[in-house]
Amino acid sequence: MEDFLAIDALCKRFGHHRALDGVSLQIREGEVFSLLGPSGCGKTTLLRLIAGFDAPDSGRILLQGKDVTSLPPEKRPVNTVFQNYALFPHLTIRENIAFGPKMAGKSRLQIASAVERMLSLVKLEEHAEKRPTQISGGQKQRVALARALVNQPRVLLLDEPLAALDLKLRQHLLVELAALHREVGTTFVYVTHDQAEAMSLSHRIAVMNAGRVEQIDAPEILYRAPRTPFVASFIGDTNLLDGLVTGASASGSVVTVSGLEDWEVTVSTSIPVGKNVTLSLRPEDLMVSSLDSGPSGLSAVVDEVIYFGAFTRYWVTCAGQRLLVQTHSNAALARGAAVKLVIDPTRLHLLDTAST
């Protein structure tokens, strides 16, 4: 269903800082929707507005067509998993999970069965009588999830739920979170600054920067077709190249990439001649090889080699332009080696320069 949760032109200032500068987006029922961006981009502010902890200066929040903008948090069918979990330290795990149904005025029997169901969902039955200080970080995270899901919210808000955990546990819980979502089917709004987390979990991602939404798309589209330089460099690594439109062709425009003077590419959009543009080129779409083999290419020099096991990364300089290259080949190219740089022009992606 479209427009399950609609964010309509939200603005929020803190003093002179514009935390949210007219954000609009639509979240569909049952999807995992991520708000992704660097710290201070407004993603947590947006989450707090959806939860009802803060009120926007202007704009509306509609849940299933109903305006909830001025409802207090306890009146919204929305629950939150907090970054620091915010488990009640004076209550046991069981009592923490029971807090929601207790506040909702459920009967003792209903509370007990709901808590039991959540405990088994997050596999914490044997820790039910412990206190939050007695369990590990990963377990706390699962308690926070159970506590937020027990009231069967329409939307589950997750505020960087994995940020406090170490890498291995984070990867493990990410898989668990995806499985949990399949099981409960609740709409997830997931706030994170970690693009890998967002990419692996989400159906759609809103990339935010400086209080605005830069682009909303599925992870693959964000990666393959970023609209702005910010999105291109925030989602994965990329080479940003400056270009100048030098001519028109039947199918679009001819762009000369600066730095690589004699290199002209054709793009499918038609842009007025003389306009400056930015192009994005992913490191894995570049190839380096030794001078004596393979297809022809531009000549470059290897500045740095970083070996990752599954792949190797090279920093190369080509006609004064520094480029990042990622290859799976094991052909060891040494630092300082003169190499051939092969670029597939179809992989060059033109960024929307109007927004920069």
Partner 1 sequence: MMNQPFKRRVTEALLSAPSLLWLLVFFAVPIGLVSVLAFRPADLHGGVGSGWTLDAVKAAADPAYLPIWWRTLWISAVSTLLCLLVALPMSYHLARMSRRWQGIMVLLVVLPFLTNFLIRVFAWRTLLHPDGMLCRALISMGVMTEEQQLLYNAGAVVVVMFYVQLPFGILPLYAAAEKFDFSLLDAARDLGAGELRAFWEVFVPGVRGGLAAASLMVFIGAIGQYVIPQMVGGVDSEMIGNKIAQRVFSDRNLPEASALSSLLLLGVLLLLMVNALRRHYASKEVPIA
Residues that bind partner 1 (CB under 8 A): 51-53, 72-74, 78-80, 82, 84, 86-90, 99-100, 103-104, 131, 133-136, 147-148, 151
For residues 150 and 324, which CB has a smaller minimum distance to partner 1 in the complex? 150
For residues 103 and 332, which CB has a smaller minimum distance to partner 1 in the complex? 103
Smallest gap from Cβ 26 to partner 1, in A, equals: 23
For residues 99 and 315, which CB has a smaller minimum distance to partner 1 in the complex? 99
Smallest gap from Cβ 170 to partner 1, in A, equals: 19
For residues 188 and 223, which CB has a smaller minimum distance to partner 1 in the complex? 188
Smallest gap from Cβ 182 to partner 1, in A, equals: 24
What is the token pair recorded at 73? 């948090």
Q: In angstroms, rounded to a whole number, what is the distance separating the alpha carbons of residues 355 and 70?
A: 32
Smallest gap from Cβ 77 to partner 1, in A, equals: 10
Smallest gap from Cβ 179 to partner 1, in A, equals: 24
For residues 135 and 305, which CB has a smaller minimum distance to partner 1 in the complex? 135
Distance from CA of residue 199 to its chain's centroid?
Answer: 6
Smallest gap from Cβ 48 to partner 1, in A, equals: 8
For residues 7 and 148, which CB has a smaller minimum distance to partner 1 in the complex? 148
Smallest gap from Cβ 351 to partner 1, in A, equals: 39
In SS3 terms, the chain reads as: CCCCEEEEEEEEEECCEEEEEEEEEEECCCCEEEEECCCCCCHHHHHHHHHCCCCCCEEEEEECCEECCCCCHHHCCEEEECCCCCCCCCCCHHHHHHHHHHHCCCCHHHHHHHHHHHHHHCCCHHHCCCCHHHCCHHHHHHHHHHHHHCCCCCEEEEECCCCCCCHHHHHHHHHHHHHHHHHHCCEEEEEECCHHHHHHHCCEEEEEECCEEEEEECHHHHHHCCCCHHHHHHCCCCEEEEEEEEEECCCCEEEEECCCCCCEEEECCCCCCCCEEEEEECHHHEEEEECCCCCCCEEEEEEEEEECCCCEEEEEEECCEEEEEEECCCCCCCCCCEEEEEECHHHCEECCHHHC
Smallest gap from Cβ 194 to partner 1, in A, equals: 21
For residues 100 and 229, which CB has a smaller minimum distance to partner 1 in the complex? 100
What is the token pair recorded at 20? 């949210």
Smallest gap from Cβ 113 to partner 1, in A, equals: 18
Smallest gap from Cβ 69 to partner 1, in A, equals: 16
For residues 121 and 221, which CB has a smaller minimum distance to partner 1 in the complex? 121
The CA-atom distances, in angstroms, between 3 and each of 7, 50, 62, 279 are 9, 14, 8, 33
For residues 49 and 232, which CB has a smaller minimum distance to partner 1 in the complex? 49
For residues 103 and 179, which CB has a smaller minimum distance to partner 1 in the complex? 103
Torsion of CA 329, 330, 336, 342, to 10 degrees: -10
Residue among 138, 157, 140 at smallest CA distance from 44: 157
